[in-house]
């Protein structure tokens, strides 16, 4: 293992990088994720960074009911995230379709049928504390394969 890989592993042991994708939401869950970044919850103080670069992500948050436009886009996005990785379904939409799950609508929940989902946070929308709790609960899954050595 090279020095750069060691540095990368050490950094990953101390921070969690989260990307999120909206596959058809009403933006309610979106706002709760943004609230996690605001001063009240300030998740960066825990070493959790939210951005939208899947190649640097450890955890993918999925919000929204799965709409047809995502049929050939979500799985490739998931595959861009390096291992180890986990995905969390945020809100009722990716779990059941929520209020969009009506006859005649073109949605295809659950998201777990399209990519591997490790945890679900139900609610319409869930609270920021519940989202934060799920991210922290899955952090050991992300870090389990990393060996950190003193350089
Ligand atoms: S779970 Fe509720 S708040 Fe979240 S995107 Fe769906 S309808 Fe909106």
148 belongs to a structural domain: no
The verdict on residue 103 lying in a domain is: yes
Q: Is the pLDDT of residue 19 over 90?
A: yes
- 89 pairs with which residues across the strands? 62, 120
Residue 48 belongs to a domain: yes
Digit-coded pLDDT (tens) for 68-122: 888 889 999 999 999 889 999 999 999 999 888 888 888 888 999 999 999 999 9
Measured between alpha carbons, how far is 18 from 135 in angstroms, rounded to an integer? 9
Q: Which residue has the higher pLDDT, 79 or 140?
A: 79
Q: Between 15 and 37, where is the model more confident?
A: 37
Full 3-state SS string of the chain: CCHHHHHHHHHHHHCEEEEEEECCCCCHHHHHHHHHHCCCCCHHHHCEEECCCHHHCCEEEEECCCCHHHCCCHHHHHHHCCCCCEEEEECHHHHHCHHHCCCCCCCCCCHHHCCCCCEEECCCCCCHHHHHHHHHHHHHHHHCCCCCCCC
Whether 23 maps to a domain, the answer reads yes
In this prediction the pTM is: 0.87
Residue 13 lies in a domain: yes
92 lines ligand 1 (CB under 6 A): yes
Residue 151 domain-assigned (yes or no)? no
Mean pLDDT score across all residues of the chain: 87
Say if ligand 1 is within 6 A of residue 111 CB: no
91: alpha, beta or left? (left if phi > 0; alpha if psi -120 to 50): left
Q: Whose CA is nearest to atom 6 of ligand 1?
A: 93
What domain count does the chain have? 1
Residue 149 lies in a domain: no
67 CB under 6 A from ligand 1?
Answer: no
Residue closest by Cα to atom 5 of ligand 1: 25
Q: What is the largest CA-CA distance in the chain?
A: 59
Verify whether ligand 1 is closer than 6 Å to residue 124 (CB atom). Answer: yes
* Containing structural domain, residue 73: 3-143
pLDDT confidence tier of residue 51, bands split at 50, 70 and 90: confident
CA-to-CA separations, 73 to 21, 77, 95, 99, 109, in angstroms, rounded: 11, 6, 18, 23, 15
CATH code, 134: 3.40.50.12280
Q: Is the CB of 93 under 6 A from ligand 1?
A: yes
């Amino acid at each position: 293992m090279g020095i750069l890989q060691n540095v990368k592993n050490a950094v990953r042991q101390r921070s969690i990088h989260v990307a999120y994708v909206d596959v058809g939401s009403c933006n309610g869950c979106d706002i709760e994720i943004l609230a996690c970044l605001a001063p009240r919850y300030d998740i960066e103080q825990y070493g959790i960074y939210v951005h939208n670069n899947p190649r640097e992500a450890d955890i993918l948050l999925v919000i929204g009911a799965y709409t047809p436009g995502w049929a050939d886009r979500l799985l490739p996005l998931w595959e861009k995230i390096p291992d180890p990785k986990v995905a969390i379904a945020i809100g009722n939409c990716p779990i059941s379709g929520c209020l969009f799950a009506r006859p005649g609508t073109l949605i295809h929940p659950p998201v777990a049928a399209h990519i591997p989902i490790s945890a679900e946070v139900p609610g319409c929308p869930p609270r920021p504390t519940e989202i934060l709790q799920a991210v922290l609960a899955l952090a050991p899954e992300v870090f389990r394969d990393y060996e950190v050595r003193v350089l």
